[in-house]
Structure 1
Amino acid sequence: MATGRVLVIGLDPVRIPGWDPEPVVAAIARGQARFAEHGIEADLCLVAPEEHAERQIVEALTRREYACVVVGGGIRKHEPLLELFEKVVNLVRRHAPGAAIAFNSGPEDTADAALRWLR
C-alpha cells in the first residue's frame, strides 16, 4: 500500500467555456475513486486560468502536507497555458518542496501517476 497524501492540480472543466464538462467531470470522479481503491487520500485543486489560479494553488499546497502533487494534462498539454504550467511547477517547488511532482496522461490514470512516486 502506498503512503502519503496527494494533491491533484488541474483545470476545472465546469469553468472552461465552450464545451461539455460532463465527460471530464465523470473521468475525474473515476480517477479519484482509484485513489480510494489504493487507500490514498487525494485532494483536488481545480482551477480556471483566468480566475486567480495561482492563489487557489498556493492555498491548496499550504493547506496540508503532500507526498506527491500531480499536475493534470489540461494544464500541461494546452500550449496557451504553458506559462500557467511553469507557474504550477514552481509553486509546488516553493510551497511543497518535499512533494514529488507527477504527471498523468488523463483524469483516470492520476492515481497511477502518483503511485509511481509513493511506493
Structure 2
Amino acid sequence: MHGTGAVLVVGLDPAKIPGWNPEPVVKAIARGQARFEDHGIEADLCLVAPDENAESVIIEALARKDYACVVVGGGIRKHEPLLEFFEKVINLIRQHSPGAAIAFNSTPDGAADAALRWLR
C-alpha cells in the first residue's frame, strides 16, 4: 500500500444478467482487480443484481472498511432502466461511507484508473 487507502468496486454481477455470455466481462473485471494489485492498492469487489437484495449487500460491503474511494461500474451507471438503482447506490455510498471519493470507470478493467484519479 502507498498509504492510499482501500477501494470498493460496486458493479453488476455479469453472471446474473440473463441472455448474454458473462465470460468476457468476468475476465475484464479480473484484469481490473489485478491492476489494483499492480498499484499496491487494496480493492474489494461487490457485484450485485439489482433485483436480489442489492442494497443490503452494498451496505454490508461499505461497512467492512473505511474506504478511500468507491468505484461504481458502468453497468449500473449507463443502463437507462437502472437509473433509479444508480441513484440508490450513490446515496448508499454517501450515507454509509461519507468520507469516500466516488469514481466511475468506463470499462470493467478500468476501475483502478478511476480510483487513482481520486487517490493521488
Could you say which TM-score interval applies, normalised by the shorter chain? over 0.9
The answer to whether the 8 Å contact 1:5/1:40 transfers is: yes
SS state at 2:109 partner = helix
Matched, 1:74 2:92: no
Matched, 1:20 2:25: no
The Cα offsets for residues 32-86 of structure 1, whole Å up to 9 and x where unpaired, read as 0000000000000000011001010000001111000000000000000000000
**Alignment match, 2:58:** 57
The one-letter code sitting in structure 1 at the alignment partner of 2:104 is F
Q: TM-score, normalised by structure 2?
A: 0.97
The one-letter code sitting in structure 2 at the alignment partner of 1:68 is C
Structure 2 residues without counterparts, runs of 5 or longer = none
Q: TM-score, normalised by structure 1?
A: 0.98
* Distance in 2 (alpha carbons) for counterparts of 1:18 and 1:55: 26
Once the 2 structures are TM-superposed, how far is the Cα of residue 108 of structure 1 from its aligned partner? 1.2
* Distance in 2 (alpha carbons) for counterparts of 1:2 and 1:110: 18
The one-letter code sitting in structure 2 at the alignment partner of 1:46 is L
What number of residue pairs does the alignment pair up?
119
C-alpha RMSD over aligned residues:
0.8
The answer to whether the 8 Å contact 1:69/1:100 transfers is: yes
The one-letter code sitting in structure 2 at the alignment partner of 1:115 is L
Q: CA 1:62–1:85 in structure 2 vs 1: closer, same or farther (change >3 Å)?
A: same
**Alignment match, 2:93:** 92
**Alignment match, 2:12:** 11
